[in-house]
Amino acid sequence: MRQRVSELSGRSCPQVLGIDEHFFSHKKGYATTLVDLRHHKVFDVVLGRSAASLHGYLKRLPGREHVRVIVMDLSETYRRIAQQYFPNAMIVADRFHVVRLVNQHFLRLWQQHDPEGRKNRGLLSLMRRHHWHLSSVQKERLHQYLAQSPVLRALYFAKQQLNGFLVMKSLKAKRAKQMLPQFLALIRQFEQSPAKALAATLLSWLEPIVRMWRFTKSNGITEGFHTKMEMLSRRAYGFRNFENYRMRVLAQCGWNGVINRV
């Protein structure tokens, strides 16, 4: 395994890259996962998640100028890293994290407007789900509750409209241009509402979010590898040596398991 991993160390960086963090250990903290999204392989695992901890590795990374697309969550640290070390890459936001951000903001606003209703687990389930996935009975129940608070009702349907934009993908360039003014107008409405903090975040990440309409890959592949990494760590009862952990991850998730013998 050590021999094979050493052979992989000179590989050129993939053109479509997924970047995300995962927890390694309480003593050493978090690690950064780099995934080849086109071939569904872990490219590498690096200890740390800050610009300072990743500087030495990224500076020596071969082929980073050939990276065309980087998929990430809404992490300002990773965005600065991508802009500094991958100058020719476009940043694409991860759809799951953008939708989750919208839902989290809405749930906080709901907590402010109706703390008691927020504790209702049945209502919580209905509020979290996309409106188009609800049955007619569930919609009726939800509408009865929202009728009691016009402000909350307006926020809910604006949130659903926003999520409708966020889940769109594989749009042609012409269609994306047509949708953009409507998307911007909706965000401007949020700026004049209690959700102005959400609007500010969406505007600061506008280009990476809009690119989700054209680019279908997401960091769901990376999250799947994180599940495998967690299983590897559990089977080993935890790793103390990060290089041993990295070697095991690359052996399981980053190559085909065949060692060429001379």
Cβ–Cβ under 8 Å, residues 97 and 87? no
The 10s digit of each residue's pLDDT in 114-136 is 898 888 999 999 999 999 999 99
Residue 32, Cβ neighbours under 10 Å: how many?
A: 23
Evaluate if residue 160 carries a pLDDT over 90. yes
pLDDT of residue 259: 43
- Strand ranges across the sheet with 29-36: 41-47, 29-36, 16-25, 69-72, 90-93
The 10s digit of each residue's pLDDT in 1-54 is 777 677 666 678 899 999 999 999 999 999 999 999 998 999 999 999 999 999
Domain boundaries, the chain: 2-93+218-253, 95-213
Closest by alpha carbon to 165, among 154, 180, 151? 180
Look up the pTM and report it.
0.87
pLDDT of residue 216: 85
Cβ–Cβ under 8 Å, residues 190 and 119? no
| Domain 2-93+218-253 falls under CATH 3.30.420.10 | yes
For 32-120, where are the alpha helices, taking DSSP H only?
51-60, 76-85, 95-113, 115-118
The 10s digit of each residue's pLDDT in 189-248 is 999 989 999 999 999 999 999 999 999 888 999 999 999 999 999 998 888 899 999 988
